[in-house]
Amino acid sequence: MSPRGRFRGPVEPSRFLGFAVAAVVALGLVVASGAFVRLTGSGLGCDNWPRCGSTPFPAQDFHAIVEFGNRVVALGGILAALVAWLAARRVADLDRRVRRAALGAFAGTVAQIPLGGLTVILDLHPLAVMTHFLLALVVVALSVVVALEAWSHARGLGEPVAPRWLRLVAVVGVVACGAMVVTGAIATASGPHPGADEDVARLGLEISDTVYVHVRATAVFGIGFLLVGWQLLRVRRAVPGVLRLAGVLLAVLVAQMLVGEIQYRNALPWGLVLIHVTLAAAIWGLTVATTHALWRPPLALLSTSAQTAPSVGEPLRSS
């Protein structure tokens, strides 16, 4: 078969899974890279957007190199999301909703280009920066769903885990996690890292007040997560993989709480804030993954005795 024929031919589910996982990793790196730009004060390192100063490439300046590097990382995320979407279109029997989610992830990464330019034009207004960050998390959530569905399509789809009421609690938990992330973004926008060395506008809120709200949003999410985790422990023999996924989320959440406490007590050093933001993105992705796995678990996450799901590659169906 010619290279052109191979490109246009069908994509095996296992290959699609690899593309989907690569997109999740690439888009996660985009979030961390964007946080690095802000926290090093490099948000305006490349003026005259979309150029970098008077040339398309950065001058020998730290802030310009950091900002330009973020653009390169973002381009990698766009390409990874594009490949995942194109592959999704060529996977046999893949449900349209999975293809639409892959398209949504790609469209979201492309939308970041003008949004990033607008953020620079607005001199890093905190609302624009927050929108830039939150859109990145929406894209991460879509890519996580695509990856899980790719896993199910390649290896088999299990029946929903736990009672319906618990699965609905987990959905509310995603909303609570979103509130936790948003209040965290507001706290960062009120802190000592405006994104550039220049006089950047701030929200005008006291950091102590925003942290107060953020901590309580975290507590609400934590209580809900413990409820879901306790119920998963009761059926751990049937859902060992889902429980392990929840265990990873718990470990990251505990680490996040420790980092948050330490950074606040040490006047928010940018290195710790970078770790905090990166862990926040990981918590968001793991929360979406755990919740999705409760409703539509890949067969590999269930015990052998619980693997009574439909055959491998069965199209997506409503729960």
Candidates 175, 316, 306; CA nearest to 243 is: 306
Convert the pLDDT of each residue in 96-106 to its tens digit: 999 999 999 99
Convert the pLDDT of each residue in 20-58 to its tens digit: 999 999 999 999 999 898 888 888 887 777 777 676 677
- Label residue 193 left, alpha or beta by phi (over 0 means left) and psi (-120 to 50 means alpha): beta
pLDDT at 119: 85
Number of alpha helices (DSSP H) and beta strands (DSSP E) in the chain: 9, 0
Phi, psi of 39 (to 5 degrees): -75, -20
pLDDT at 305: 58
The span from the CA of 94 to the CA of 225, in Å, is 31
Higher pLDDT, 90 or 189: 90
Question: How far from 26 is each of 44, 246, 271, CA to CA, in Å?
Answer: 23, 22, 21
pLDDT at 312: 40
pLDDT exceeds cutoff 60 at 285: yes
Convert the pLDDT of each residue in 186-234 to its tens digit: 888 777 776 666 566 677 788 888 889 999 999 999 999 999 999 888 8
Between CA 39 and CA 184, with CA 212 as vertex, the angle to 5 degrees is 35
Residues near 134 by beta carbon (within 8 Å), at least 6 away in sequence? 181, 182, 185
